[in-house]
């Protein structure tokens, strides 16, 4: 199955969600290697992006020109959003996504992210500005609404489609739920019924079984996976194989898994530099070791080690010994 965004095709319709502090370029590159229809960058604040110096990591390492990459923008004002969209399109972005779903207080406090769902007229002006600024497909990511008394995602989706948005991604929670409870996939069906552009279901989709159920309840055209890919960059490929007959991924185990994890770690050190790279990599290493069943003391030693070379040396036995015991 293929999602059509004008002249842009997304196949398979299994997408990587933007996760702040997680879906950076090294991680997106790993996920894309196994196979994903689209990977979405971490949310970029349009105003900050415009004022960042040339050559900064945010601009130089955006990965906009990599195939099957969407760049997600957030902001409050139409002008800066349009200018940032033009800039990332010139850098090679194939798709631009507008964030109207982030629930974080530091984002909604600045009247961005899901706060825009409380002001649909202003949200529409922002959407129109971005669509009018670029020739590449523009998509929109929202939640069901701000809270249970304002489930306005279907109406916002209708207006966004009329403004030229080519795909809608819906996280099946309200902003006020944050990540509590369970995503309401059935509620996404109202959005699917409201528009003719592709609709993608998001929220609590962690494997093939949950993806299948989300599609069944929502009627959506595809799924977006976020936290389910943590520590398992091959997860999207597994879902694509089970649901759409995509090639079966070669899920690594034993020494092959250790090699992948060390490659990921080294890529993060190179991307961020040694000091920041060690800090940013800890959560990824923790997820990998959790999956492997690493002993708590060894896990602690790896995650508290500040020297990249020493952490890398500890990582191999931390993973391989745990996997050997599990076997």
Could you tell me which residues are annotated as the binding site?
Answer: 72, 141, 171, 226-227
Is residue 130 within 8 Å of residue 161, measured between CB atoms? no
Residues 130/162, Cβ–Cβ less than 8 Å = no
Residue 102 known to be catalytic: yes
Number of helices and strands (H, E) in the chain?
Answer: 14, 11
Pick the catalytic residue from 10, 74, 102, 215: 102
CB atoms within 10 A of CB 279: 12
Q: Which residues are annotated as a binding site for FMN?
A: 72, 141, 171, 226-227
Report DSSP state, residue 116: G
Within 13 Å of residue 45, how many CA atoms lie on the same side as its CB? 11
Alpha-carbon distance of 23 to 208, in angstroms, equals 21
Helical H segments across the chain, by residue range:
25-34, 46-51, 57-60, 78-90, 105-108, 120-133, 153-163, 189-194, 208-218, 235-244, 254-272, 274-292, 296-304, 308-326
Residues designated catalytic: 102
């Amino acid at each position: 199955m293929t999602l059509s965004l004008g002249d842009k095709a997304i196949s398979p319709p299994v997408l990587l969600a933007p996760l702040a502090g997680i879906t950076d370029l090294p991680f997106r590159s790993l996920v894309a290697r196994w196979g994903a229809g689209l990977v979405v960058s971490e949310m970029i604040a349009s105003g900050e992006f415009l004022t960042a110096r040339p050559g900064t990591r945010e601009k130089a390492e955006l990965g906009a020109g990599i195939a099957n990459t969407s760049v997600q923008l957030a902001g409050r004002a139409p002008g800066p959003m349009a200018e940032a969209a033009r800039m990332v399109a010139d850098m090679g972005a194939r798709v631009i996504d507008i964030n109207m779903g982030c629930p974080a207080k530091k984002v909604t406090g600045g009247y961005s992210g899901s706060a825009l769902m409380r002001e649909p007229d202003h949200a529409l002006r922002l959407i129109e500005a971005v669509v009018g600024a670029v020739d590449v497909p523009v998509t929109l990511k929202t939640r069901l609404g701000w809270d249970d008394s304002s489930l306005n995602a279907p109406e916002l989706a209708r207006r966004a489609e009329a403004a030229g948005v080519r795909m809608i991604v819906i996280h099946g929670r309200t902003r006020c739920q944050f990540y509590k409870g369970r995503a309401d996939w059935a509620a996404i069906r109202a959005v699917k019924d409201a528009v003719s552009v592709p609709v993608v279901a998001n929220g609590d989709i962690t494997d093939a079984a949950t993806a299948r159920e989300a599609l069944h309840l929502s009627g959506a055209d595809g799924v977006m996976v976020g936290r389910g890919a943590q520590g398992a960059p091959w997860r999207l490929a597994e879902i694509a194989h089970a649901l759409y007959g995509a090639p079966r991924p070669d899920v690594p185990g034993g020494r092959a898994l250790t090699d992948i994890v060390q490659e990921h770690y080294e890529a993060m050190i190179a991307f961020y530099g040694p000091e920041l790279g060690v800090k940013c990599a800890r959560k990824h290493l923790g997820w990998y070791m959790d999956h492997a069943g690493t002993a708590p003391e060894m896990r602690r030693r790896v995650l508290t080690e500040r020297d990249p070379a020493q952490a890398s040396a500890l990582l191999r036995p931390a993973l391989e010994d745990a996997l050997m015991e599990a076997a």
